[in-house]
Homo-oligomer: A and B are copies of this chain.
Amino acid sequence: MSGQHFLFVPGPTTVPQDIMNAISAPMEDHRSLAFPELTHCVLDDLKEVFKTKSGRAFVFPASGTGGWEIALTNTLSPGDTVIASRIGHFSNLWINMCKRLGLEVIELEAEWGEAAPIERYQEQLAMDRNHRIKAALICHNETSTGVTSDVAGLRRAIDDEGHSAMLLVDGVSSIASIDFNMDAWGVDFAVACSQKGFMLPAGLAITCASEKALNAFQKKTRTPRAYFRLQDMIEANDTGYFPFTPSLPMLRGLRASLRRLLDEGLDNVFARHHRLAGGVRRGIRDGWGLDLCARQQGTKSDTVSAIMMPDGFDSNEVIRLAQLKYNLALGAGLSKVSGRLYRIGHLGDLNELMLCAALSGAEMAMRDIGIDVTPGSAVAAASEYWRSDKQ
């Protein structure tokens, strides 16, 4: 196909040229005298992104799924109880993993499109007099539904009940794009990965653990693990190295990514995501007259919008035509919402015109299958919003 490919799945996101240059530099020895400078630079800058002073960041060659496992196996032991909510595909998968790793899960069911039900977490914690619940799990930004949940609220709920549970957060599609504050929110383990807000290819699980998680929990965990064992990583990282061969291109890419994020300023990064998302939402609602999967105000994600299909239309057909006719990759509805929604990722290295292209292509594909949206309407609504908002 001619022309550029427009990638609007909610990760992997487009990799900027300077990061790709860092990635594609020639190999080096990961045991060289110079190597520790890279290790320390990356791990220190990551703490700024996680907004933690006392926590500790970790980088593993793995996917975000590996990041979940790092969080669970280094803080919990088989038989431990955790509490978690089922609000979408990825929160479900994390719960499934808990079970595979031998954890007991108190599951809070909710409609897809709802945020994590903080009050119901609190009810359960209140009832848990013996602090059997070792950790509360929450998905900060459920990528399958485009819903952002209230992590700080969950911490308040835990604290309100005087509960000792750790707070473990899936921040895969929020961290580095939406405000996240490890220390202020009392997060004990946060999981991110490379291919979202960090603007890198997939391949790195990026996590951060609180002092409490490392000292009180990690040291007594009985879960067998080797590759993902944090203690080995801590000991090696302290010397500037890794316990096994790290992915040099990804570490260099991460350094370049962190430099970009910190140069732009995290608050500016968040504001940019919020502003761009605002235009997309106006395009969907005011332009096309379509609904988001996210229901409540204040929970609509700044990194991904899940667009509900009108009755009788199959979102997979929209996605297929967008790909084949317009060189546009949209995100599919996953598992139980397959066919019922498609997703536009709006995170990472992005601007207004890229989103105009995405909205135009999605609109053309929807019209191709007979959905009656007004031509140009999403671009009109989004662009007028951006114009009004842009100084």
- Where the two chains meet, the residues of A that have a C-beta atom closer than 8 Å to any C-beta of B are 1-7, 9, 11-15, 17, 20-21, 23-33, 61-66, 68-69, 78, 97, 100-102, 193, 195, 201-203, 223-229, 243-250, 264, 272, 287, 320, 323-329, 331-332, 349-354, 356-358, 360-361, 363-364, 367-368, 374-381, 383-384, 386-387, 390
Please tell me which one of the listed residues B245, B332, B375 contacts residue A31 in the complex, with CB atoms under 8 A apart: B332
Whether the pair A354, B224 counts as a contact (CB closer than 8 A) is no
Whether the pair A69, B227 counts as a contact (CB closer than 8 A) is yes
Query: Smallest CB-CB separation from A334: which chain B residue?
Result: B31
Chain B residues closer than 8 Å to A25, beta-carbon distance = 17
Q: What are the 7 closest A-B residue pairs judged by CB atoms, nearest first? A: A376-B380, A3-B351, A376-B376, A356-B360, A203-B247, A375-B380, A65-B244
A-B CB contact pairs (8 Å), 12 listed = A2-B351, A7-B28, A15-B27, A20-B24, A29-B331, A30-B202, A33-B320, A62-B62, A65-B226, A100-B225, A203-B249, A325-B390
Least distance between A163 CB and chain B CB atoms (Å) = 26
Chain B residues closer than 8 Å to A11, beta-carbon distance = 245
Least distance between A362 CB and chain B CB atoms (Å) = 10
Whether the pair A12, B32 counts as a contact (CB closer than 8 A) is no
Whether the pair B367, A375 counts as a contact (CB closer than 8 A) is no
Q: A4-B353, A201-B250 are in contact. List 10 more A-B contacts (CB 8 A).
A: A21-B21, A24-B24, A29-B329, A33-B320, A62-B227, A63-B246, A65-B243, A69-B227, A224-B224, A353-B358
Chain B residues closer than 8 Å to A100, beta-carbon distance = 224-226, 229
Q: Counting chain B CB atoms within 10 Å of each CB, which of A12, A323, A356 scores highest?
A: A356
Whether the pair A32, B376 counts as a contact (CB closer than 8 A) is no
Please tell me which one of the listed residues B14, B15, B245, B329 contacts residue A202 in the complex, with CB atoms under 8 A apart: B245
Least distance between A36 CB and chain B CB atoms (Å) = 14
Copies in the complex: 4
Whether the pair A2, B63 counts as a contact (CB closer than 8 A) is no
Whether the pair A328, B356 counts as a contact (CB closer than 8 A) is no
Please tell me which one of the listed residues B12, B61, B287 contacts residue A66 in the complex, with CB atoms under 8 A apart: B61
Chain B residues closer than 8 Å to A14, beta-carbon distance = 4, 26-27
Chain B residues closer than 8 Å to A354, beta-carbon distance = 3-4, 357
Least distance between A219 CB and chain B CB atoms (Å) = 15
Please tell me which one of the listed residues B193, B195, B326, B350 contacts residue A352 in the complex, with CB atoms under 8 A apart: B326
Whether the pair A364, B349 counts as a contact (CB closer than 8 A) is no
Chain B residues closer than 8 Å to A226, beta-carbon distance = 65, 68-69, 97, 100-101
CA distance A328 to B202 in the complex (A): 29
Chain B residues closer than 8 Å to A390, beta-carbon distance = 325
Whether the pair B27, A64 counts as a contact (CB closer than 8 A) is no
Whether the pair A245, B63 counts as a contact (CB closer than 8 A) is yes
CA distance A351 to B228 in the complex (A): 37
Whether the pair B368, A387 counts as a contact (CB closer than 8 A) is yes
Whether the pair A383, B360 counts as a contact (CB closer than 8 A) is yes
Chain B residues closer than 8 Å to A20, beta-carbon distance = 24
Least distance between A277 CB and chain B CB atoms (Å) = 13
Q: Counting chain B CB atoms within 10 Å of each CB, which of A227, A358, A374 scores highest?
A: A227
Q: Counting chain B CB atoms within 10 Å of each CB, which of A13, A351, A354, A387 scores highest?
A: A351
Least distance between A39 CB and chain B CB atoms (Å) = 14
Query: Smallest CB-CB separation from A25: which chain B residue?
Result: B17
Whether the pair A3, B349 counts as a contact (CB closer than 8 A) is yes
CA distance A264 to B64 in the complex (A): 36
Chain B residues closer than 8 Å to A101, beta-carbon distance = 224-226
Chain B residues closer than 8 Å to A374, beta-carbon distance = 380
Least distance between A268 CB and chain B CB atoms (Å) = 9
